[in-house]
Amino acid sequence: MRLPGNNLDSISPAARAVLDRGAALFVGGEAIPSATGAEIPVYDPSSARQISVLADGGAEDVDQAVAAAAAAFPRWRATAPAERERLLWRWAALIEQNADLLAEIETIDVGMPLWMSRRMEMGATLGAIRYMAGWPTKIAGQTVDVGVPIPGSQFVGYTVREPVGVVAAIIPWNVPMMMAAWKIAPAVAAGCTIVVKPSEVAGLSVLVLADLARQAGFPDGVINVVTGKGSVVGQALVRHKDVAKVTFTGSTTTGVAIATAAAASAKKVTLELGGKSPQILFADADLNSAIDGICNGIFLHSGQICVAGSRLYVERPALDEVVEKLRAWADSRVVGPGLVPDTQIGPVVSDTQKAKILGYLSGAGQEGADIVTADPDVDGDGYYLRPTVVANATPSMQVVREEVFGPVLTVAAFDDADEAVALANDTDYGLSACVWTSNLATAHRIIPQIRSGKVAVNTDPLPYPALPEGGRRASGYGRDLGQEGLDGFLETKSVLIRTA
Ligand code: NAD
C-alpha cells in the first residue's frame, strides 16, 4: 500500500495562517521582507508537496539584523536581571499557550509525529527556557585576595561576568524549535542579543517563536531571525565584524568550516556537531526495558537526533535474543504521516536524506552485513523509511563509521567490558553513549573510559536542562544547557584596584 501524506485540509486555522503568511525575516521586532524578495520553498516531508516559503535572505539582510542586535545590546545588557528573567518566563508562558500550534507546524515542517513535537520537543523547549530564566539574577563573579608584592601597597581584586555581545546562532533542521530555544534562552539570559539562522530545510517554528518573544515584551532587536542559505546567510554571520560569538549546531563538516572562517576575526565559537554514539548492552541488563530504550534512542524521530545511539554492542550470550527482540520492535512500528495519531515513526526530512540513508544500507549489504528487519524503503508520497536493524556489522563498515542520521541501528557482539569500551571508542566522534546493565559497578567502571560528552546508564540519553549537552573530538566543543551553556555567552573581566 502506498502511504499518503498529511491531510493539510484539516489543520488548524492558526497553522494554516503560518503556512500562508509569506516569506519574511524577523528583524528589529518586526516581520520584514528580505532585501531581494527571493524565496526558498518549504516541503512537507510526508507528501513531498510544497507547503510554504521561507525568505532567502542575503548579506544585506544579515547586516540589517546584526545592526538591530548591536543597537539593542547596550540597553539589553543594562536591563535589570530580574526583568530579563520575567521576560523569559513570559515567553515560556506564551509558547505553552501556543504549544498546539507550534507542534502542528513542527510536525508538518520536519515530519516527526505530532505526539513527539507536542510532548518531547515542546517539553525540551520549555524546559530549557525556564531553566535559563532562573540564571540572570544568579550571574556572579568572584572576589580575589590580591597580594601584589609592592611594599606598602594594597589592592582589591574581583571578577565580573559580562555578556559577550551580539551572538549568531546557526541551527539545523531536525528540531528547529528546540534548537532555537537552546541558543536564544541562554544568550538573552546572559544579556546578549542574537541573530538566529534556521536551516533552509525547516525553520517555520523559529519565526513563530520570535514573534511570541515580541509579544512577551522583549525589546526590538534583542531576538532576530534571518532565514536563508548556509553559504550566504550563515557565512555572512560568521564573517560579520559585529558578531562576537557563533553558536553552531549541525554537521561536523559545516562546523569545521565555520570555526575556520570565524578564526579570522577571533570570534568565540561553540560547536555542537554530529555523532555516532555507541550503546553497550550487557547480558545482565533488564532486556525488555533495554530494548525499548535502545530502540527509542535510535529510532525516535527516525534517527535524526544528534545523540542517536546508532551502534549497539551486545554481550555475546545475549546477542541472538537481542537481535530478535530488536527486529520485533522495529517491524511492529507504525510508519506514517506525522499528523495521524497512530503514527509512531514519521518520514525523514527530505528526498536527499532518504537517498543517503538507503545508500548506506545498500553499502552495508555489499560489505557483508545482514539487514534483519523488513524492507526499509516504504512506498509513499513522502520520504518514508522503516526502522532498520543491521546485524553482523564490523568496525570498518561505512555504516558503522559514518553518521547516517536515519533510522538505522548496527549491531555487533563483544566478549568482555574492555572490548566493549574499545569498540565504543572506535570512532572519530564523541557525543553520547549508553550503557545497559543491572550491575552499577560495571557502569561506574566503564563511564570514565568512554570518550564522549555524555554517558546515559539504563536510559536513552534524554536532554535535561540542567545537564550540559555537547561533544568531544569530531562532535565539537562547548556546551548547550546547564550552567556551562550559559557560561558560553559570558566573558570574565578581571578588576584590579589599588587602594594604597
Ligand atoms: P548542516 O551542517 O548541513 O547545517 C546546519 C546549519 O548550518 C544550517 O542552518 C545551514 O544552513 C548552515 N550552514 C551550512 N553551511 C554553512 C556555512 N558554510 N556557513 C555557515 N552556515 C552554514 O546540518 P543539518 O543537515 O542541518 O543537520 C544535521 C546535522 O546536525 C547532523 O550532523 C547532526 O548530528 C547535527 N546535529 C547536532 C546536534 C548536537 O547537539 N550535537 C543537534 C542536532 C543536530
Averaged pLDDT for residues 160-172: 98
CA-nearest of 357, 358, 379, 361 to 369 is: 361
Question: Which of 272, 315, 403, 469 is labelled catalytic?
Answer: 272
CA of 171 to the centre of ligand 1 (A): 6
Question: How many C-beta atoms surround the C-beta of residue 31 within 10 A?
Answer: 17
- pLDDT at position 413 is 98
Average pLDDT over all residues of the chain: 97
Half-sphere exposure of residue 415, counting CA atoms within 13 Å on the CB side? 0
Can you tell me the distance from the alpha carbon of 171 to that of 234, in angstroms, rounded to the nearest whole number? 10
Asked whether residue 1 carries a pLDDT value surpassing 90, the answer given is no
CA-nearest of 188, 186, 208, 190 to 198 is: 208
- pLDDT at position 232 is 98
Question: How many C-beta atoms surround the C-beta of residue 443 within 10 A?
Answer: 17
Asked whether residue 458 carries a pLDDT value surpassing 90, the answer given is yes
- pLDDT at position 24 is 97
For the stretch 366-410, pLDDT in tens is 999 999 999 999 999 999 999 999 999 999 999 999 999 999 999
Looking from the CA of residue 469, the nearest atom of ligand 1 is 40
For the stretch 168-218, pLDDT in tens is 999 999 999 999 999 999 999 999 999 999 999 999 999 999 999 999 999
Q: Which pTM was predicted?
A: 0.97
Share of the chain above pLDDT 90, in %: 99
Residue nearest to atom 31 of ligand 1 (CA): 251
Can you tell me the distance from the alpha carbon of 38 to that of 233, in angstroms, rounded to the nearest whole number? 13
Q: How many residues does the chain have?
A: 500
Region for 50 from its dihedrals, namely left if φ exceeds 0, alpha if ψ lies in -120 to 50, beta otherwise: beta
- pLDDT at position 493 is 98
Question: Strand pairing partners for 497?
Answer: 156
Can you tell me the distance from the alpha carbon of 417 to that of 394, in angstroms, rounded to the nearest whole number? 18
CA angle 244, 232, 42 (to 5 degrees): 115
Q: Which residue out of 40, 56, 120, 249 has the highest number of ligand 1 atoms within 8 Å of its CB and is therefore the one to mutate?
A: 249
Q: Which residue has the cell 534562552?
A: 185
Q: Which pLDDT band holds residue 327 (cuts at 50, 70, 90)?
A: very high
- pLDDT at position 179 is 98
Looking from the CA of residue 471, the nearest atom of ligand 1 is 41
- pLDDT at position 388 is 98
